[in-house]
Amino acid sequence: GATDNTPFVQNYNLVNLLIEGNENTTVGIFAQGLARCNWSEVTFRNGSTSCIGFKFKGVMLSNFRHLQCSTDIDNMASVPEIGIELDFGHRNLIGVGNCSNNSFYDIQMEGMPIGIHLKAADQQVFYTGTSESCLNYGLLIKANSRYNTFIGTGFESKDATADISDSGVHNSFIGCYASKGTLIDVVGWNIK
């Protein structure tokens, strides 16, 4: 565990958890300054139109299996804006950095405006899973995100602006599929 002088909570493990929000919920599950954790079968349902289902800041070296925020699986009375967001974080007033070196296995972030948002995330690996049926972007990668890898992940959102929008650095897609299109921002150029 962490003390007042350490930047991380370590080995904080979650298994078989369902969090149910409502139209006033702005963040479903918030984690900041975690390291070496294992989460499995964690689901968030229902949130405000500005809600983030899973909000991770400065989370590192952890494994996440079967995280779910999906209108394709569960009917939601109020649909969150973002399924999962990874960002720069602090703990005990110490900047711990971008989310980094996490593994995500078979996550489902479906039916929201944005499924997966990599705001500040480095060296994440996403194995299979889906970010489909999204209204704006299945995957939105910002410029502060680097070296992320997606393997066998589905980004199929026929009504989206783009299935994937990548403004990051050296992100890789192996055996992934999309139906709408991909936007790649290369030094100010938008290639479609």
Give the number of other Cβ atoms within 10 Å of residue 106's Cβ. 16
pLDDT at 191 over 80: no
Band the pLDDT of 93: cuts 50, 70, 90. Answer: confident
Work out the pLDDT band at 5, boundaries 50, 70, 90. Answer: low
* C-alpha torsion angle, residues 165, 105, 109, 138 (rounded to 10): 10
Alpha carbon distance 158, 175 (integer Å): 19
Measured distance between the N- and C-terminal CA atoms of the chain, rounded to whole angstroms: 46
Confidence (pLDDT) at 159: 85
pLDDT digits (tens, 9 = 90+) for 142-172: 999 999 999 999 999 888 999 999 999 999 9
Nearest to 54 by CA among 81, 27, 34: 27
Q: For residues 184 and 107, what is the distance between their CA atoms, to the nearest angstrom?
A: 23
Strands 137-141 vs 189-191: parallel, antiparallel or unpaired: unpaired
pTM (predicted TM-score):
0.93
CA atoms within 13 A on the CB side of 34: 22
